[in-house]
Chain A
Amino acid sequence: MSSIHAHTVLIVAAILFVLGLAGALIRRNVIFMLLSIEIMLNAAGLAFVVAGARWQQPDGQIMYLFILAMAAAEVSVALALVLQIHHQHKTLDIEQLKELKD
């Protein structure tokens, strides 16, 4: 217990990723699915930072930065889509949005 092991941190990242995956699979609301995707991206960033800290290189934190920028762009587009879906269909249920009519 005197120092942190690399296993432990990677297991924490894996648990967070699997929780995000389970959340994306079991929820039917679009907002909760987006939140679960955020959890998964963040767990991947945690794994990158752990790898960077393990070899004491800055590359892990740089990859985390790129994941952060990608998540910001993805969230802005996805939330605009959610607003438009709610405006047109009056629902956020993923089961009712599966038709590609028109």
Chain B
Amino acid sequence: MPLLFYISSVIAILATIMVITRYSPVHALLYLVVSFLAIAVIFLSLGAPFAAALEVIIYAGAIMVLFLFVTMMLNLGKQTALQEKEWLQPKVWIGPSLMAFALLAEMIILLLRPESVAMPFAVVTPRQVSMSLYGEYIIAVELVGFLMMTGIVGAAHIGKHKKKNLHRFLQT
């Protein structure tokens, strides 16, 4: 089990590095799918099979396919990749990434400060999760329902193409 975890976390980090350095959006999306699948394996090795299944089905399956469809609708071709290559000069990315990695180093030092705790290997079953979800967290489930409803209405309203057909009396 630890070996599974180490291999999949290395794959997740490498695939994420590939995501933020690709020029073509479709390549980045496919690497991100690989990264999400590796994170699903991490969840499985931590004893969270329900979260692993949701990661594969919703993140890698639904959200990434939505991104892929939008990328296909926008018809971003070779010209976009060339423009990205032009934008991604070292003088652009070296400052922000150095600062981000300084923050990462600080966070790792802080995380390594307390003494290490071994993870207990026990599976949190989907039954436990759903009992707790529909028991004590029921109000949060209803709020998430509101949020999803708002998301649907907002996406349908924003994504609508406005027709420019005026009434025949208003046409000049």
Contact = CB atoms under 8 A, between A and B. Distances in A.
Contacts of B63: 38, 71-72, 75
B115 to A, nearest CB: 9
B133 A65 contact: yes
B118 A3 contact: yes
A7 B101 contact: no
Contacts of A100: none
Contact of B51 (A1, A28, A61, A93): A61
B25 A31 contact: yes
Contacts of A6: 116-119
A97 B122 CA distance: 49
Interface in B77-96: 80, 83-84, 87-88, 92-93, 96
Interface string A62-93: 10111011111111110111111011000011
B25 A77 contact: no
B20 to A, nearest CB: 3
Contacts of A8: 5, 9
A18 B102 CA distance: 10
Contacts of A83: 70, 73-74, 159
A56 to B, nearest CB: 5
Given A69-B148, A72-B151, A9 B54 contact: no
A34 B67 CA distance: 9
B137 to A, nearest CB: 6
A94 to B, nearest CB: 10
A84 to B, nearest CB: 6
Contacts of B74: 31, 82-83, 86, 92
Interface of A: 1-12, 14-16, 18-23, 25-29, 31-32, 34-36, 38-39, 42, 45-46, 49-50, 52-54, 56-62, 64-66, 68-77, 79-84, 86-87, 92-93
Ranked nearest first, the 4 interchain pairs of A and B with the lowest CB-CB distance are A73-B151, A23-B20, A80-B159, A25-B96
